[in-house]
């Protein structure tokens, strides 16, 4: 199993920045990709960004391109999400997730095996 622990959420004003961290432990050798997702109550979980562990190939949702940056530190088994130019519509609970090699797109939440507990991001207008 892989355990994921997120940190770094909080309250920020429109236009501000936050950095989320997700530390992985356990069977991290099985991790092929990690992703960040977000979810509002009553809505489906939405892909934000993802990174393939070995190639560092990164993908972003159109809604965050140019504002968010995903990065990973393999030595620390940690993935980060640097969020800038935040908007009220970015308000959500943010989750990190990991998966082994899968053929499904990195944006597909059902392809992930392990999830963190979530961290709240609130952007005030």
Residue matched to tokens 């392990």: 114
**DSSP assignment string, 41-92:** TTS--EEEEEEETTT--EEE-TTTTTTEEEEEEGGGTEEEEEE-S--GGG-E
Average pLDDT, the chain: 96
Q: Are 78 and 8 in contact (CB under 8 A)?
A: no
State how far the alpha carbon of 79 is from the alpha carbons of 57, 104, 107, in Å. 13, 20, 16
State how far the alpha carbon of 74 is from the alpha carbons of 2, 28, 36, 54, 55, in Å. 15, 10, 16, 9, 11
Q: Would the CA dihedral through 66, 95, 121, 92 be positive or negative?
A: positive
Residue 7 neighbours by CB distance under 10 Å = 13
The Cα–Cα gap between 43 and 28 comes to 30
**Predicted confidence (pLDDT) per residue in 61-90, tens digit:** 999 999 999 999 989 999 999 999 999 999
| Res 41: pLDDT | 86
- What residues of the chain score a pLDDT lower than 50? none
> Of 6, 9, 28, 25, which Cα lies nearest the Cα of 86?
9
Residue 73 neighbours by CB distance under 10 Å = 11
């Amino acid at each position: 199993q892989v355990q994921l622990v997120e940190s770094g959420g909080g309250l920020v004003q429109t236009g501000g920045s936050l950095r989320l961290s997700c530390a992985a432990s356990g069977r991290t050798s099985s991790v092929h990709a990690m992703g960040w997702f977000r979810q509002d109550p009553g809505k489906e979980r939405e892909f934000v960004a993802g990174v393939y562990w070995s190639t560092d190939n990164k993908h972003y949702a159109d809604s965050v391109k140019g504002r968010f940056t995903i990065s990973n530190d393999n030595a620390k088994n940690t993935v980060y999400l640097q969020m800038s130019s935040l908007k009220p519509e970015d308000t959500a609970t943010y989750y990190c997730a990991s998966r082994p090699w899968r053929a499904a797109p990195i944006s597909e939440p059902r392809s992930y095996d392990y999830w963190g507990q979530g961290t709240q991001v609130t952007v005030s207008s």
